[in-house]
């Protein structure tokens, strides 16, 4: 995962001395997870249903042992740095988002169907949704009671849901999407209305600004999208188109399907006027590039570079995990890019090769393998940054060793050494250290264990955890197993110590 923002003054100054690219870090948010804009509380009770819901004792399951009694699902998924992100008590398998958007009115309306499996006996459960008016919620087709508080949407089904049961929730809602604005170091993210449509990038917790979800990467799911927009506009989402777009009554519906598990922050419905180039990479993978007309001069290059990078990473990291690749350049001046699954989004700039290499490396590191908790973000950003260095070397520019040495030359008092990248901080999640020192950590590891073990490790890491969730201790354990070396001191110095490492 990860978005990239244009360099801050500090990082730009550092980079100019290093002679590297001018775009560096994925954007960040504050630790706050409940935007003030979504703080309205509207409680809607369906009286006919309410009368049938009388708490745990109403459950047919409650006659068994006490710990099987229906309880509310937790309002957070358990990431202590982001306590209200995601939710407990269920695991989503699939989202069907049938949404229409009208740019002139900034109006989003539709229904989200969430198909999930209970992981406890549920009296009620939460979804994450910020803003909008919710008009109706059903569970397995029956009206359910629902309540709003901040960005928590609490759903109380007419009957409790037994542990391990599957269920389908339909949420009908409408309103003006409000992105998360001016977070501490991420800027603006979520569903961002633009002149001709919307730019939609959700890292770390912006899915809730456009659909009700379990908004944390620890719960991945498959997605279907049915997106309806004024005729003449293009709606882009993850995965591949299902059938041809259909136009009726001046509006066009685009159906997209991402059939591989995906974290909620990687979902997109970026829409507007786009010029599109479709085909296949030289290696035979579907490739789609789309650019806002003001970036039409970069369309061909985006398409070609995305194709050749994807093919090269497939040789280095293992088979591409999804069914298509590509990229989208929109005119919203986000100043960052996000590795939206199958379609990285570039916000307001034509990306250079290094950024494309970074975002497409994330398709393996971040998208196929997702972090279970945000503090392990270096597993995404350190790897994607190191991929930029690998690409530079592959293209005959600076080598990984040269780039490592340039960064390692930073003085002992440089801020990169006082932030330990193995423990990303919620208030400064996307710190440059998570990226650059994270990438240096991988190079230090490579020096220590040698190229054969290092590249075997990358492939095995990717293959073992394909479509799954990962943590830093799991990576360290695999590195030690493959290399046969005790690497505790190396990882302690590089990931967990707030000073400049002296050994590797
Ligand atoms: Zn990134």
Ligand 1 centroid to Cα of residue 405, in Å, is 21
Q: In the chain, what's the furthest Cα-to-Cα distance? A: 71
Average per-residue pLDDT for the chain: 89
What is the value of pTM for the model shown? 0.88
Strands 71-72 and 122-128: parallel
Burial class of 10 by CB neighbour count within 10 A (0 to 12, 13 to 18, 19+): exposed
* Placement of tokens 């290093």 in the chain: 18
> Is the backbone peptide bond immediately before 204 cis, with ω within 30 degrees of 0?
yes
The predicted model gives 211-223 an average pLDDT of 98
Ligand 1 centroid to Cα of residue 370, in Å, is 13
Ligand 1 centroid to Cα of residue 360, in Å, is 9
pLDDT in tens, 61-99: 444 444 589 999 999 999 999 999 999 999 999 999 999
Tell me the DSSP string of 176-234.
----EEEETTTEEEEEEE-SSSEEEE-TTT-GGGTS-B--STTS-EEEEEEEEEETT-E
Q: Where are the alpha helices (DSSP H) in 348-399?
A: 353-361, 378-394
Residue 14 pLDDT grade (very low, low, confident, very high; cuts 50, 70, 90): very low
Q: Give which of 376, 351, 392 is closest to 469, Cα–Cα.
A: 376
CB 31 within 8 A of CB 81: yes
Ligand 1 centroid to Cα of residue 503, in Å, is 26
Ligand 1 centroid to Cα of residue 385, in Å, is 7
CA–CA–CA angle 23, 206, 156 (5° rounding): 165
pLDDT in tens, 132-157: 999 999 999 999 999 999 999 999 99
Ligand 1 centroid to Cα of residue 212, in Å, is 25
List Cβ neighbours of 307 (8 Å cut-off, separation of 6 or more): 280, 281, 282, 283, 285, 287, 325
pLDDT in tens, 380-399: 999 999 999 999 999 999 99
- Whole-number pLDDT of residue 216: 98
CB 316 within 8 A of CB 289: no
CB 1 within 8 A of CB 266: yes
> How far is residue 391 CA from its own chain's centroid?
23
The predicted model gives 359-365 an average pLDDT of 98
Ligand 1 centroid to Cα of residue 426, in Å, is 16
Ligand 1 centroid to Cα of residue 388, in Å, is 10
Q: Rounded to whole angstroms, how far apart are CA atoms 357 and 305?
A: 8
pLDDT in tens, 456-493: 999 999 999 999 999 999 999 999 999 999 999 999 99
What separation, in Å, do the N-terminal and C-terminal C-alpha atoms of the chain show?
27
Ligand 1 centroid to Cα of residue 3, in Å, is 5
Q: Rounded to whole angstroms, how far apart are CA atoms 45 and 140?
A: 18
The predicted model gives 169-191 an average pLDDT of 90
Residue 27 has pLDDT above 70, yes or no: no
Helix axes 299-317, 451-464, angle to 10 degrees: 100
């Amino acid at each position: 995962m990860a978005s990239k923002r244009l360099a801050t003054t500090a990082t730009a100054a550092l980079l100019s001395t290093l002679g590297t690219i001018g775009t560096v870090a994925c954007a960040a948010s504050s630790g706050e997870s409940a935007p003030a804009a979504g703080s309205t509380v509207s409680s809607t009770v369906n009286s006919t249903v309410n009368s049938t819901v009388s708490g745990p004792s109403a459950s047919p399951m409650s006659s068994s042992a006490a710990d099987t009694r229906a309880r509310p699902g937790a309002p957070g998924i358990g990431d202590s740095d982001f306590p209200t992100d995601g939710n407990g008590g269920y695991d989503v398998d699939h989202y069907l988002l049938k949404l229409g958007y009208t740019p002139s009115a900034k109006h989003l309306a539709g229904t989200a169907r969430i198909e999930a499996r209970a992981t406890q006996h549920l009296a009620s459960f939460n979804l994450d949704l910020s803003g909008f008016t919710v008009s109706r919620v059903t569970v397995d087709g029956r009206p359910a009671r629902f309540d709003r508080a901040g960005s928590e949407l609490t759903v109380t089904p007419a009957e409790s849901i037994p542990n391990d049961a599957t269920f389908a929730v339909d949420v009908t809602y409408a309103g003006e999407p409000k992105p998360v604005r001016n977070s501490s170091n991420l800027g603006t993210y979520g569903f961002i209305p633009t002149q001709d449509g919307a730019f939609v990038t959700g890292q770390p917790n912006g899915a809730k600004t456009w659909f009700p979800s379990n908004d944390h990467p620890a719960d991945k799911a498959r997605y279907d999208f049915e997106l309806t927009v004024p005729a003449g506009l293009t709606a882009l989402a993850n995965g591949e188109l299902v059938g041809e777009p259909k136009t009726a009554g001046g509006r066009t519906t685009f159906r997209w399907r991402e059939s591989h598990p995906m974290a909620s922050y990687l979902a997109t419905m970026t829409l507007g006027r786009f010029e599109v180039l479709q085909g296949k990479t030289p290696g035979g993978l579907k490739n789609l590039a789309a650019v806002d007309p003001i970036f039409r001069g970069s369309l061909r290059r985006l398409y070609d570079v995305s194709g050749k990078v994807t093919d090269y990473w497939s040789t280095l990291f293992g088979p591409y995990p999804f069914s298509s690749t590509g990229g989208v350049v929109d005119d919203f001046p986000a100043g960052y890019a996000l590795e939206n699954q199958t379609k990285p989004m570039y916000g307001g700039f034509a990306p250079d090769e290094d950024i494309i290499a970074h975002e497409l490396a994330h398709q393996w590191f971040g998208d196929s393998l997702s972090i279970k908790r945000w503090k392990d973000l270096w597993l995404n950003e350190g790897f994607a940054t190191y991929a930029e260095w690998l690409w530079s070397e592959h293209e005959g520019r600076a080598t990984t060793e040269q780039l490592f040495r340039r960064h390692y030359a930073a003085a002992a008092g440089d801020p990169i050494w006082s932030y330990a990248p193995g423990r990303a901080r919620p208030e400064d999640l996307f710190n440059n250290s998570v990226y650059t020192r994270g990438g240096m950590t991988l190079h230090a590891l490579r020096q220590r264990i040698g190229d054969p073990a290092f590249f075997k490790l990358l492939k095995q890491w990717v293959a073992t955890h394909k479509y799954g969730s990962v943590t830093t201790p799991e990576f360290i354990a695999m590195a030690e197993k493959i290399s046969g070396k005790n690497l505790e001191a190396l990882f302690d110095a590089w990931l967990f110590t707030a000073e400049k490492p002296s050994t590797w």
